[in-house]
Amino acid sequence: MEINISINGESRTFDVEPRTLLVHLLRDNAGLTGTHVACETSICGACTVLLDDKAVKSCTVLAAQAQGCEVTTIEGLANGDQLHPLQEQFWEKHGLQCGFCTPGMILTANQLIASNADPTDEEIRHGIEGNICRCTGYQNIVDAISAAAAQMRD
């Protein structure tokens, strides 16, 4: 089936099987491999992307459900050479090690800050509960999100 979808601001058309998951369209058809698959049960959040500005787990969204929608992936977050504040702060605060969870974590955090511009640590920890990181113990991720929120408020 044909799917029209805007990915990181660019309108694109794909011909895929109806059962194709959004994450596989992004990775295999659109060639955007920054979105990762790590659990296929929508628990770990490594596949998180923004679907019409809402964070969704793209391993449990059919590509067909994204018909006519705007998708933002980690590749589309920076503004040209200018990193997004979340990207900057994850780097600054050592909020990643192996990096596999990072794209999903950053996009979830993006939605968190969009709905709460000044989150407490507790609110951040609650907000990223749906994203698993096995490397960092989360502390530097919490600090990165907190610092990015502050930067975005300025």
Q: Where do contacts with another protein occur on this chain (CB under 8 A)?
A: 17, 19-20, 24, 27-28, 32-41, 43-44, 46, 73-75, 77-78, 83, 87, 90-92, 94, 96-103, 106, 121-122, 124-126, 128-129, 131-142
Residue length, the chain?
154
Q: Output 68 or 99, the one with its CB closest to another protein.
A: 99
**CB of 100 vs another protein, minimal distance in Å:** 3
**CB of 89 vs another protein, minimal distance in Å:** 10
Q: How far apart are CA 144 and CA 129, in angstroms?
A: 15
Q: Output 59 or 68, the one with its CB closest to another protein.
A: 59
Q: Output 13 or 31, the one with its CB closest to another protein.
A: 31
Q: Output 70 or 75, the one with its CB closest to another protein.
A: 75
Distance between first and last Cα of the chain? 45
- Sheet of 54-57: strand order equals 10-15, 2-7, 70-72, 48-51, 54-57
Which residues face 82 on adjacent strands? 79
**CB of 146 vs another protein, minimal distance in Å:** 12
Angle 110-72-6 (CA atoms, 0-180°, nearest 5)? 155
